[in-house]
Amino acid sequence: MEIEIEGGSVTRILMGVSESTIKGHPHASISSRGAFDWTIQKIVRHNTSAFKLLFLHVQVPDEDGFDDMDSIYASPEDFKNLMNRDRAKGLHLLEYFVTRCHEIGVSCEAWIKRGDAKEVICHEVKRVQPDLLVVGSRGLGPFQRVFVGTVSEFCVKHAECPVITIKRSADEAPQDPVDD
Amino acid sequence: MEIEIEGGSVTRILMGVSESTIKGHPHASISSRGAFDWTIQKIVRHNTSAFKLLFLHVQVPDEDGFDDMDSIYASPEDFKNLMNRDRAKGLHLLEYFVTRCHEIGVSCEAWIKRGDAKEVICHEVKRVQPDLLVVGSRGLGPFQRVFVGTVSEFCVKHAECPVITIKRSADEAPQDPVDD
């Protein structure tokens, strides 16, 4: 009846992480940080050598469209700079989580993909085959959900591995609950 | 930046467990056993002292109606025996999980409630405030779901704590996938 836990195999947890939507906030979104903290505190705990965290950041090609309204493109170089800026933002986000893992002593990997967040996450689950997918959620009501989409709901239904959705706690929600 | 993990507080995982629907099968359902095994192998691992498992079995008052079609009730005693039999079945189920926890060395508590499974589970989450709810699922398609209800889907939406649904793997499914 004893359950075998192979010493060599760690529990691989894939986390979908996103940037904060709050203007001037250079870091991970509130819900991504909440999901990370919860995973460390409640699942990994002090057993750091038994887990590996995989961070996936999906960049939505059109997401920054509004910011770009003020920009003037005069040469092919300007587009290249834009791409580099996006890339830098994504790397900065991953650096935040990789640094925290390093401090805590849990091994990790992080990467960026471009595309539709919910579809890319489910595709990466199929490719990487983690033991568990953790996604943060703003915990919005049905009315707000219509406008902002629901990556977490889609993943719970379609990802080919167990999924935990970590809702943002009420006291962490920003003034506009659609922000994160 | 270091995350505090209080030494005194364990991660409390509530598991909704059900009896097998397969005739003559005296044990836990396939999906309940799968969810338990997964939780031990992937979450608890060897860190047994950091977790406490809480087993909730919800007995649905009418669930055994079909079995009772063949029974003859001739005295108040017969109904009492029926109640005792239900109680014995529920206790047998909990004994299975408590024994396994004892063997593995993880602390646990187990109890039975009567009512509608999905509502009782969410009510108990509110009362007990676990860190995580784990529910097994048959992983049925939308057509089959119409007939058998979806305790796990309801809990993912309504339980006031993070929820993991562990789908039964395809090779564990019985001949009739509605069985469990």
The 10s digit of each residue's pLDDT in A6-28 is 655 999 999 999 988 876 666 89
| Strand duo B132-137 + B11-16: pairing | parallel
| A168 neighbors A21 (Cβ within 8 angstroms) | no
**SS3 state at A29:** coil
Q: Please enumerate in sequence order all residues whose Cβ is within 8 A of that of B65, keeping only pairs 6 or more positions apart, or say none.
A: none
The CATH number assigned to the domain holding A92 equals 3.40.50.620
Residue B1 lies in a domain: no
Residue-wise pLDDT for B13-54, tens only, equals 999 999 888 766 668 999 999 999 999 999 999 999 999 999
**Residue B143 pLDDT level (bands cut at 50, 70, 90):** low
Question: Is there a contact between A45 and B50 if contact means CB atoms under 8 Å apart?
Answer: yes
Ordered strands of the B163-167 beta sheet:
A107-114, A51-59, A11-16, A132-137, A163-167, B163-167, B132-137, B11-16, B51-59, B107-114
State both tokens at B154.
Answer: 């309801």
DSSP state of B59: E
Question: Is there a contact between A45 and B165 if contact means CB atoms under 8 Å apart?
Answer: no
How far apart are alpha carbons B180 and B177 in whole angstroms?
7
Closest residue to A162, CB basis, from B3, B45, B165:
B165
The reply to whether B170 touches chain A by the CB within 8 Å rule is no
The reply to whether B93 touches chain A by the CB within 8 Å rule is no
Largest distance between two CA atoms of chain A: 70
Question: Is there a contact between A100 and B11 if contact means CB atoms under 8 Å apart?
Answer: no
Q: Over 70: is that where the pLDDT of A107 sits?
A: yes
How far apart are alpha carbons A145 and B164 in whole angstroms?
21
Residue A88 lies in a domain: yes
Find where tokens 């005792």 sit.
B84
Question: Is there a contact between A163 and B162 if contact means CB atoms under 8 Å apart?
Answer: no
Q: Over 80: is that where the pLDDT of B8 sits?
A: no
Question: Is there a contact between B3 and A166 if contact means CB atoms under 8 Å apart?
Answer: no
| B29 neighbors B55 (Cβ within 8 angstroms) | no
**SS3 state at A167:** strand
> Rounded to a whole number, what is the distance in Å from the CA of A167 to chain B's nearest CA?
7
- Chain A positions in Cβ-Cβ contact with residue B96 (cut-off 8 Å): none
> Rounded to a whole number, what is the distance in Å from the CA of A67 to chain B's nearest CA?
31
Residue B54 lies in a domain: yes
Nearest CA in chain B to A165: B162
Nearest CA in chain A to B134: A164
Cα angle A159, A139, A122; round to 5: 15
Whole-number pLDDT of residue B68:
54
Domain count along chain A: 1
The reply to whether A177 touches chain B by the CB within 8 Å rule is no
Residue A10 lies in a domain: no
Residue type, A148: V
Residue type, A70: D
State both tokens at B128.
Answer: 């007990």
Residue A87 lies in a domain: yes
Find where tokens 């187990």 sit.
B110
| B162 neighbors A162 (Cβ within 8 angstroms) | no
Residue type, B68: D
Torsion angle of alpha carbons B96, B99, B109, B120, nearest 10°?
-10
Residue-wise pLDDT for B147-168, tens only, equals 555 888 889 889 999 999 898 8
Residue B104 lies in a domain: yes
A175 phi, psi to nearest 5 deg: -50, -50
- What would you report as the CA-atom Rg of chain B, rounded to the nearest whole angstrom? 17
Q: Is the pTM of this model over 0.80?
A: yes
The reply to whether A30 touches chain B by the CB within 8 Å rule is no
Question: Is there a contact between A40 and B103 if contact means CB atoms under 8 Å apart?
Answer: no
Q: Nearest to residue B17, comparing CAs of B63, B53, B46, B41?
A: B53
Range of the domain at A117: 15-63+75-172
Residue A160 lies in a domain: yes
How far apart are alpha carbons A155 and B164 in whole angstroms?
12
Q: Over 90: is that where the pLDDT of A108 sits?
A: yes
Q: Over 80: is that where the pLDDT of B177 sits?
A: no
Residue B70 lies in a domain: no
How far apart are alpha carbons B92 and B77 in whole angstroms?
22
How far apart are alpha carbons A135 and A132 in whole angstroms?
10
> Rounded to a whole number, what is the distance in Å from the CA of A47 to chain B's nearest CA?
7
